């Protein structure tokens, strides 16, 4: 079958003479071989279910809708400007290229022109190659985020917009977020870095309380019980004692108070792990909602001034606040060595 001029449903590029084209054995949908191999399956499951042929449904349809893009994960049709699938929440692949040579004229003027806002890469003029980087992460500067534009949100985020804007688009579209590993690992420091001061302080205080308890109380009360128990276990040849063995020993020799000091280290670990998991799973959603709320507040109060400048100043990051967290943690860690 001749597919010249037809469109590969995965990469949205037309087939040309010499292209390596494969077809789905069930519905006959054509793909570039590499596209089909990368996706791993046909994206027309509804044709398979109904026993229909791709050519009968799409190839001969003169009114084929060019304003939609099909999700390569579940096959659902979405608006052509969509970032994530409205059904499954998967990111809709799109290749956005920026020709660095086009930045030369922009840099002569000192800043990007309005029409080249998304194509401007500072300091990269005169380089004779094309790169594939999108500072907006594929999000249009005009896309609406609950009353805030993509450009405004980008200004507010400031750093690492190529990660956060697509995640925010997914939250807005389907209510699903993405696990934030930085928030998981650094918790309070991450919230402070992103200027979410209230929740950052609350999480930091909880974290440091667990650390202080661990450094001083656990060292003073829990550790001696464990050491005494280990010596007792050696005498009765218990080589691999479990937590239950320690609890039984503590209750026998120190009553209920001993049991509390025995399980306290595990309680502290559970608290710190809960904080980290909470931050990792909900950090992006909290950041998104706070960003939109703050931008709206700035816009409502800043009628005559430079709104984008005010948004940029209110947003961005606070490295100093995150460093304070790190320094305090380092002090506690050093202190634990001398207790």
Write out pLDDT tens, residues 263-284. Answer: 999 999 999 999 999 999 999 9
pLDDT of residue 63: 39
Alpha-carbon span 199 to 174, nearest angstrom:
25
Name the H helices within the chain.
Answer: 33-39, 45-50, 54, 103-108, 150-157, 161-174, 181-186, 188-193, 197-212, 223-235, 243-301, 307-314, 319-336
Alpha-carbon span 170 to 162, nearest angstrom:
13
Write out pLDDT tens, residues 31-71. Answer: 999 888 888 888 888 888 888 888 767 754 433 455 677 77
Contact yes or no for 181/167 (Cβ under 8 A): no
Residue with tokens 């992006």: 284
Report which of 49, 28, 285, 42 is spatially closest to residue 180, judged by C-alpha positions: 285
Write out pLDDT tens, residues 282-312. Answer: 999 999 999 999 999 998 887 666 788 889 9
Confidence check: pLDDT of 133 > 70: no
CA dihedral of residues 106, 111, 113, 118 (deg, nearest 10):
90
């Amino acid at each position: 079958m001749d597919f010249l001029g037809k469109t590969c449903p995965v990469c949205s590029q037309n087939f040309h003479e010499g292209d390596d084209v494969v077809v789905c054995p069930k519905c006959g949908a054509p793909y570039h071989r590499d596209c089909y191999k990368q996706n791993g399956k046909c994206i027309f499951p509804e044709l398979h279910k109904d026993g229909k042929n791709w050519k009968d449904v799409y190839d001969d349809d003169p009114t084929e809708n060019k304003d939609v893009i099909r999700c390569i994960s579940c096959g659902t049709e979405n608006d052509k400007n969509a970032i994530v699938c409205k059904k499954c929440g998967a990111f809709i692949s799109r290749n956005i290229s920026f020709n660095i040579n086009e930045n030369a004229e922009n840099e002569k003027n000192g800043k990007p022109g309005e029409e080249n806002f998304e194509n401007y890469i500072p300091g990269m003029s005169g380089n004779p190659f094309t790169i594939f980087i999108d500072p907006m992460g594929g999000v249009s500067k005009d896309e609406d985020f609950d009353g805030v534009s993509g450009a405004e949100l980008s200004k507010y985020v400031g750093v690492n917009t190529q990660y956060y804007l697509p995640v925010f688009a997914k939250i807005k579209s389907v209510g699903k977020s993405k696990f934030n590993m930085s928030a998981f690992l650094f918790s309070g420091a991450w919230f402070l870095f992103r200027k979410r001061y209230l929740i950052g302080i609350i999480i930091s205080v909880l974290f440091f309380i667990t650390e202080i308890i661990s450094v001083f109380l656990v060292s003073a009360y829990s550790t001696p019980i464990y050491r005494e128990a280990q010596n007792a276990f050696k005498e009765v040849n218990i080589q691999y004692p479990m937590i239950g063995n320690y609890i039984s020993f503590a209750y026998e020799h120190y009553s209920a108070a001993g049991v509390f000091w025995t399980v306290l280290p595990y309680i502290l670990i559970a608290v710190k792990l809960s904080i980290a998991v909470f931050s990792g799973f909900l950090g992006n959603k909290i950041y998104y909602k706070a960003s939109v709320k703050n931008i709206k507040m700035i816009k409502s109060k800043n009628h005559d001034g430079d709104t984008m400048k005010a948004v940029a100043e209110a947003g961005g990051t606070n490295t100093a606040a995150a460093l304070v967290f790190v320094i305090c943690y380092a002090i506690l860690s050093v202190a634990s060595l001398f207790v």
